[in-house]
Amino acid sequence: MSILLSSVLNGLSFAALLFLIAGGFTLLYGIMRLLNLAHGALYLWGAYLAAAVISGTGNYLLAVLVAGGVVGIATVIGGVGLFARVQGNELREVLLTIAVSLVLADAALAVWGGHPVGVQAPEFLRGAADFMPVAFPIYRLFLMGLALAVGFGLWYLIERTSVGALLRACVDNRAMLASLGVNVRRLYWFVWMAGGFLAGVAGLLGSIVFGIAPGVDVQILLLALVVVVLGGLGSLSGAALGSLVVGLSYSFATVYAPELLYFIIFGPMLILLVIRPQGLRGANA
Amino acid sequence: MRTRRWLPAVVGVVMLAACAGEGSEDGGGQFEDDDGTSQDDQADPGDAGEGGEPVRVGVLMPFSGPVAVSGELFVKGWELYWETHGTSAGGRTVEWVTGDTQADPSVAVEEARRLVEQENIDILVGPLLGSEGLAVGEYTESIGLPQVYGIPASEEFLRDIPDTIFRYGITHGQVSMPFGEWAAEQGYERVSTICSDYVTGWEICGGFINTFTDNGGEIVTQLWPPFGDTADLGPFMAQLAEQDHDAVYLGMPVGDAVAFFRAWTDFGLLDTVPVLGHHVTSSPSILKAMGLEAEGMISAGVFTGTLDDPVVEDFATRFEEAYGEPSDPDPALAWHAGALVRHGLEELDGDVSDADEFIAVLKQAEFPESVLGPLSVDEHGNVLYDVHIREARDRGDGVMENFVIDTYEQSGPNFRYDYDMYVEQPAYNRDYQGFDWPENCDAYISDCPLD
Amino acid sequence: MTTLMPQLTSRWTDQTNQNRRFLAVVITLVIVAVAPMFLQQFHVGLLTRIFFMGLLAMSLNVLVSLTRVLSLGHAGLFGVAAYVVAIGVTRWELPFLTAAAVALVVTGLVSMLFAVMIVRAQGVTFVMITVAQGMLLWGAAERWVSVTNGNNGIRGVRPPEFIQTANDFYWAAFAVVAVSVFALWRLHTSFLGTRLRGTGDSPTRMTSLGYSNAWHRFIAFTIAGLFAGVAGILYVGYFGFVSPTTLHVGNSVQVALAVILGGSALFLGPLLGTAVLLTARTWVVPVTDRWNLIVGALMIVTVLFLPNGLAGAFASAWAKLTRRIPRLAGRRSPDQNAPSAPAEPPGSSQPSGTPERPQH
């Protein structure tokens, strides 16, 4: 019974982390229609920056601001300076982000070295929650809460605010929006910044669980892709659903079908894409 | 389509321009030359002596990709060796060039070929990973190049190793087998294992289980998280928390070990049972990433900078002075590779033309004092090491290192088992973990610890 | 469709130019065939690798330039062929050529299976499915130890008896690749090739003309997989071993980079891209460890400024040199909307090559 409970909890907390990792990715796809394969590299830089700030100052708030801010600004520069030049051509967009991720990952290796880095949660989130019936870390409970908050925040931003209305309008018809006098460029900057910020902060959140090492960027990217593609590209609720599917199936497979662990992430995704290419929550193919 | 006809020509010209060169030597891939030799444009080794041609050594390591740090550490130790001892050996000057394997076996072979054919190396040192080593070993054997090969620990080398390779490193079982016996003798009865699900993890766990169960220990459960994944370790922790065991044996390399320890701490399991580790889970750089909570982790390994041995102390001090980080097994192995190359050159007066002879000399070399402790060689060419059981402690300035608490002297890859029997057992994998030997171990070893 | 065909046929049947091109091809073939006699052994090996890795890139280009989709799992099919040969030779003790034939059949079957999965997919969904396919094949190589020997890979694959030296292998690889490239050329210029292009460029028009887009995607993917298999057979023959790294998604990415660097719009572009990447690597690696950074930067420049890749850049430089109007292969440019690319023919009146975006 307790194994069942902890499997559910682990699955949910892994899902929460996956959702937070995929947040910036899904935002950029949802609004900019960019399949950002440099997402893992942005995550990696966020993780290293945050780890450096924490080991230097011990200030987690500052780490969030630096990781999110620097990665966000870099994303704005990349988005406006590079991506805008190839916008509209999917093939070149994808290749451009691959190229950028090669550069960023190798630069990270040059700057930060290849030693593994461990990042601890802030003091008040360390250790196991003693009020739970099974061993379970406080930090993972925090992740679940944070994922709910971020998910709700993004939903509220996009669906309920005037900025959100503009963003949605922008997805549908940006020329029309520009002709109505809206500063589309500034809107774009906002989206790039938000996407990069989320990716950078995800670096901090994820590295507390996974640690940081070269190569993590590719694995994070693959996780984000699976989650987002399962749910339906660009759909916020889809990303949430995809996270839950991956998180829970991974958690249960670990306990009940460990032999299949290697295939548990990509197998279901492949099957789903073949049956339903638009993903669980995608609108149409 | 008028303008397209230039394209084949351009492609051809570019390809040939890339290859501008003279001579019509033959070779490549896994093939031998027509005349059976490959290095005839190299220095004639006969004219060794003062003023003779330098000996060129190729240092083949990953310098990019996920394990780049090991390559960098190795080169640090290698350079430090020659800076300390001077580059003259056997009447010749030693030079070296590096090659980057990118942790990919086929790239490793290509780089080995580049070093041989373009850089005219006489000796190859490296590479790092078992898969790389197996691939490069085939190539160096085919062209008769001596290969000094330290880090790889795959037991596949026990079963099949070319004469042109001197494998001076340990196998994983060489370290984890004494540890299994030690754990059982310390009174651990029920142990759960968690090892990465690939060949390294299988061998680390398999060796431990082999001796631990032979000495009456019992394995409660074996968990196999995927290797190198950002796989969530939470479900594994939940399972470990459920078990009734008195220790957990950890065999997840480097970054994965850090992730394990994070999860282990966060799930509140730190104070439940001790974690027993392996040298790949407990080098100083890994301990640093784990944080001070890792204090007290017991592990087995052959090198630690804190060993009470003047040669080791000297190396550890020099390394830390030069690079500002605690010494690590990788640079120590590189330092010893330097010592081996020097030994071979001096024994043969700088003549490295015969790979088999060079390797044969190395296989006979005893190092009563080396940076890796006293070393001897068994009749199969395996190097016997002192295997240390160490405990991770803060050495006083906030830096954690491993301090020796027990030592198994001169232990080989077969440990106490009969060599041929050991090699004939199946390769360790997820399904074969050496469980088959308990109870009647005196069929295999001379002094069965069960008696 | 009707607007596509006359242009193509008129171009391809230009008799004088065909003769001159034929001559150029023959001269190039002869030079490349005698090259090993004048080259160092390292360069013979390098050229051999360029042959089969170039063939792999060209097989991927069947998807990129014709059906306008990017596969990031292509190295998986390449690796399947290599593994089947390795298993056939070492485990079943088959002769190399028999194992190669088995490998082609298996690769073809796997390609067909995978092709069935992708027929409905476009754009990023296609990319994602191929990533998943590649990762599953990699997982199988890594985990199915009893067959693949796991992470250590399989060693000791000897080529057929009649190949003794590296030069023999060079010529064998050259012959196989030359025939394969010719076959691919026939595909590109055939009516089937035109229909595959139609599937990539204007699927709705294809449907209205009564052609099945799904069927053509299936064919394109299977053909690409088969030629990747040929390259994989040469790979394992050359190196003598195969390991899971061979089919990792990172390897697929490298192949895609070679295609784009060389220029997917030109038939031999991917071969050129492979040649440049493999050759440059031998120059860069002795100098710096930052090879990946350099490749990435090179790719950014290529994607931004050279929509037709290096081949396109050479072409336009050549065209300028000969003072001709740059009437390049811009028609097949992957991006007509790109801002002021140098290789872009001014005022190109060709039908747009922009792939249709999936509607999300």
Q: Which of residues 222-251 of A touch B (CB under 8 A)?
A: 223, 247, 250-251
Indicate the CATH number of B53-170+309-377 among 3.30.460.80, 2.40.10.10, 3.40.50.2300, 3.30.379.10: 3.40.50.2300
Query: Given a cut of 60, is residue A38 above it in pLDDT?
Result: yes
C276 — contact with chain B (CB < 8 Å)?
Answer: yes
Distance from CA of B311 to the nearest CA of A (A): 26
Mean pLDDT of A215-225: 88
- Amino acid identity at B130: G
Q: Which residues of chain B have pLDDT under 50?
A: 1-5, 18-28, 33-50, 438-441, 443-446, 449-451
Q: List pLDDT tens digits, range C14-29.
A: 567 778 878 888 888 8
Kind and range of the H or E element at B276? strand B275-278
Q: Which residue has the higher pLDDT, A171 or C296?
A: C296
**Nearest chain B residue to C324, by CA:** B3
A38 found inside a domain: yes
User: CB–CB of C151 and B103 under 8 A?
Assistant: no
Rounded Cα distance between C178 and C173, Å, is 8
Q: Which residue has the higher pLDDT, A119 or C1?
A: A119
The conformation of residue C323, written as its DSSP 8-state character, comes to T
Mean pLDDT of A188-209: 93
Query: How buried is residue B271: exposed, middle or buried, by Cβ count under 10 Å (0-12/13-18/19+)?
Result: exposed
Q: What's residue B152's pLDDT?
A: 66
Question: How would you classify the pairing of strands B400-411 and B383-394?
Answer: antiparallel
A129 found inside a domain: no
Q: What's residue A127's pLDDT?
A: 84
Q: Does domain C4-332 have CATH number 1.20.1690?
A: no
Within B168-217, strands assigned E span 190-195
Kind and range of the H or E element at B391? strand B383-394
For chain B, what's the residue count?
A: 451
Distance from CA of A155 to the nearest CA of B (A): 27
Rounded Cα distance between B182 and B199, Å, is 23
Point out the residue among A212, A255, A262 whose CB comes nearest to the CB of B226.
A262
Mean pLDDT of C169-193: 93
User: CB–CB of A225 and C131 under 8 A?
Assistant: yes
Integer CA distances (angstroms), A74 to A199, B426, C225, in order: 11, 52, 38
> Reduced to 3 states, what is the DSSP secondary structure of residue B103?
coil
User: CB–CB of A255 and B229 under 8 A?
Assistant: no
Residues of C in contact with B99 (CB under 8 A): 285
Q: Which residues contact A234 (CB under 8 A, 6 or more apart)?
A: A26, A29, A30, A31, A33, A228, C360
Fold of B173-301+386-443: Rossmann fold (3.40.50)
Q: Are C341 and C302 in contact (CB under 8 A)?
A: no
Rounded to a whole number, what is the largest CA-CA distance in chain C? 62
Apex CA A178: angle with CA A174 and CA A181, to 5°? Answer: 150
Query: Given a cut of 60, is residue A255 above it in pLDDT?
Result: yes
Which of C70, C125, C254, C294 to mutate to test binding with chain A, by most A CBs within 10 Å of its CB? C125
Residues of B in contact with A13 (CB under 8 A): 234
User: CB–CB of B234 and A10 under 8 A?
Assistant: yes
CB atoms within 10 A of CB B410: 15
Provide the residue ranges of all domains of chain B, joining segments of one domain with +.
53-170+309-377, 173-301+386-443
Domain count, chain A: 1
Q: Which of residues 78-107 of A touch B (CB under 8 A)?
A: 106
Ramachandran angles phi, psi of C337, nearest 5°: -90, 0
- ipTM score: 0.89
Q: What's residue C126's pLDDT?
A: 87
Q: What's residue B6's pLDDT?
A: 53
Residues of B in contact with C6 (CB under 8 A): none
Q: Which residues contact B93 (CB under 8 A, 6 or more apart)?
A: B54, B55, B87
- Amino acid identity at B40: D
A140 found inside a domain: no
Which of C19, C28, C157 to mutate to test binding with chain B, by most B CBs within 10 Å of its CB? C28
Q: Are A201 and A43 in contact (CB under 8 A)?
A: no
- Per DSSP, helices labelled H in C2-95 are 4-12, 15-34, 41-61, 74-90
Helix and strand tally (H, E) in chain B? Answer: 14, 14
Chains B & C: contacts with CB separation below 8 Å: 215
DSSP codes joined into one string, A7-58:
HHHHHHHHHHHHHHHHHHHHHIIIII----TTHHHHHHHHHHHHHHHHHHH-
Q: List pLDDT tens digits, range C64-110.
A: 999 888 999 999 999 999 999 999 999 999 999 999 999 999 999 99
Q: What's residue B49's pLDDT?
A: 43
Distance from CA of A204 to the nearest CA of C (A): 24
Q: List pLDDT tens digits, range B237-251.
A: 988 988 899 999 999
A231 found inside a domain: yes
- Per DSSP, helices labelled H in B398-437 are 419-424
Q: Are B248 and B194 in contact (CB under 8 A)?
A: yes
Q: What's residue C324's pLDDT?
A: 52
Chains A & B: contacts with CB separation below 8 Å: 137
C186 — contact with chain B (CB < 8 Å)?
Answer: no
Apex CA B141: angle with CA B139 and CA B146, to 5°? Answer: 105
> What residues make up the domain containing A32?
18-122+147-275
Rg over alpha carbons for chain B, rounded to the nearest Å, is 23
**Nearest chain C residue to B117, by CA:** C42
C9 — pLDDT class (breaks 50, 70, 90): very low
Q: What is the mean pLDDT of chain A?
A: 88
Q: Are B42 and B121 in contact (CB under 8 A)?
A: no
DSSP codes joined into one string, A140-164:
HHHHHHHHHHHHHHHHHHHHHSHHH
A138 found inside a domain: no
User: CB–CB of B29 and C164 under 8 A?
Assistant: no
Rounded Cα distance between B331 and B304, Å, is 11
A135 found inside a domain: no
Ramachandran angles phi, psi of C183, nearest 5°: -60, -40
A134 found inside a domain: no
> Reduced to 3 states, what is the DSSP secondary structure of residue B55?
strand
Q: What's residue C221's pLDDT?
A: 95
Q: Which residues contact B65 (CB under 8 A, 6 or more apart)?
A: A214, A215, B102, B103, B104
Q: What's residue C88's pLDDT?
A: 95
User: CB–CB of B289 and A220 under 8 A?
Assistant: no
Distance from CA of A25 to the nearest CA of B (A): 17
Q: List pLDDT tens digits, range C252-273.
A: 999 999 999 999 888 999 999 9
